[in-house]
Chain A
């Protein structure tokens, strides 16, 4: 009612250019004909600027010599463009074995993202689509575990790992991240799977599909948005994790980038200008992951499945 033109109303005659015609044609198959007004654009632009200012400040600082950034604000950089340097990046990269640390970070993060997703997807499927005794109680126990802060586990697990001789190995960190991320993963995936139309799963059952087939062929593809969302978060949390890596791996040959970064700061004392440069180096990978997974959040995935 508020500002909505009735669909039958013809466009004003003054606007009979190609523009409105094109727009009308597009909306006939566009599932979301709502278009951004000027207000929407202004609000979003302001928000984005607010979000960007701290990052821009850091980016600028990462190219400035330490004296400059200690004595003048980063926004005055235009007055001293000649001083800009790659020195912080060079020092950050060579100061610690960054190439090696990147390999380690991947070796830690990839399994620590994939394995919990696999385990949680199976469990979420069982909690959503299978009938068994104590199902609700078992699920609620997992939700209850969301409240346990990770850090309570560090000391007891360190003792167990020491006993098993696992300290400093990749699997020690994988398993820890699997345990810590599991309850949230199951919670998010189950809540999403519960919104999937039950009729499809039932008709698959009638057609004689086993649970494994239903899971693999139907439920997994339909849960892509939730899987992609959780994959992004788990990847980021593990990639940016300092505490778990510090406790279970420690500085040395297997250290990830976060540890390398911290070590760098420690060695050089006043090294916070190197953290700006090193911080940007470590940010590149998570941003790329986000951009590449973003396209999986497609509208109408479930709706399409019902129709097909």
Chain B
């Protein structure tokens, strides 16, 4: 009974989406040819735009407004939320941490993802499939799951007891005394440990997109380079990389934006304690712990502003590609 009603709901939902496009297309075709050509592109992008306006644009505007209001969004207080946050020492540390995440994680993700994609491409198909499945597997685990998984790496037990975290097990075997890894904030060591969790979870994402691009590089360009006597390294940097540059930039930007919003791993593993706080986690705490929707909104606005340079770069890149096409 449950199954039947679920199947009916799913079929109705998918059917409605298909019918919408069929209708829009028919509607465009009913118009005079001159109008049809002009209106069709807008029909094609209309549903996408509706979804984005309702679920992102409208809430974003609400957020900008709320960032100039007090904790309960009842009174306008000007820039007070921003000045309070930016002058607080703890928040400045949060900004530094977020910046570190942005500097380290996206570049490492792309290098590792591209490395696996290219190296695995040389294996025989069955081995390639296995390697890619293993690297991809963490993507199938939810954040709560990932935190459980990494508990068995970073966990600390008091000295004398058996260690259940593999890192401390090795460390004590080597003669050290147990270290509370996630509480060691010298040189932001614990933040780097959290970044490793995200890398572990995200490299599969980069690998899948980059692997699709690497396989899309036409075989004859590789062959031509080989006949001309190019080495494998030259082929990679001078033939493969230029042709998949677009995908590399896509992956880099996507990961950068995901890192800026990073929330769940930090929330589950340290909740920002021991100087590991990041903007996403601070947003959540302002909203759910301090019930300060003004400060929470101000953090989101700062995030959105911080992304502007990346956006400008992306727009330039986009224009350049269009000009070359």
Q: How far is the CB of A35 from chain B (nearest CB, A)?
A: 6
A261 adjacent to chain B (CB < 8 Å): yes
* Known contacts A6-B229, A57-B166, A151-B284, A290 near B41 by CB under 8 Å: no
0/1 per residue, B258-271, Cβ < 8 Å to A?
00110100000000
Whether the pair B314, A151 counts as a contact (CB closer than 8 A) is no
Sorting the interface of chain A by its residue count into under 10, 10 to 19, 20 to 34 or 35 or more gives 35 or more
Cβ distance A120 to chain B, nearest Cβ, rounded Å: 6
Interface centre among B48, B229, B315 (most CB of A within 10 A): B48
Secondary structure dominating the interface of B: helix
**Which residues does A use to contact B, with CB under 8 Å?**
1-4, 6-7, 31-36, 40-41, 43-44, 47-48, 51-55, 57-58, 61, 69-76, 100, 103-104, 106-107, 110-111, 114-116, 118-120, 122-123, 125-127, 130-132, 135-136, 138-140, 142-153, 155-157, 170-171, 174-176, 178-180, 182-184, 186-188, 191-192, 194-195, 198, 211-212, 225-226, 228-229, 232-233, 236, 240-242, 258, 261-262, 272, 275-276, 279, 282-283, 286-287, 290-291, 294, 297-303
Establish whether residues A122 and B44, one from each chain, have CB atoms under 8 Å apart when the complex forms.
yes
B63: interface (CB < 8 Å): yes
Q: What residues of B have a CB within 8 angstroms of the CB of A72 in the complex?
A: 162, 164
User: Which of B79-87, B90-98, B147-155, B185-193 lines the interface with chain A?
Assistant: B147-155
| A149→B261 contact, CB < 8 A | yes
State which size class the interface on B falls in: 35 or more
Q: How distant is A150 from chain B, measured CB to nearest CB, in Å?
A: 8
Neighbouring A residues of B132 by C-beta, 8 Å: 294
**Is the pair B56, A299 in contact by a Cβ cutoff of 8 Å?**
no
Identify whether the interface residues of A are mostly helix, strand, loop, or mixed: helix
Complex contact B142–A242 (CB within 8 A): yes
Asked whether any CB of chain A lies closer than 8 Å to the CB of B13, the reply is yes
> 28 A-B Cβ contacts within 8 A?
A4-B229, A36-B123, A51-B138, A54-B153, A57-B149, A57-B153, A57-B166, A58-B152, A73-B162, A107-B9, A119-B51, A122-B47, A126-B40, A126-B41, A143-B315, A147-B303, A147-B310, A148-B59, A152-B297, A171-B9, A175-B54, A180-B55, A194-B246, A195-B246, A212-B25, A233-B139, A279-B141, A283-B145
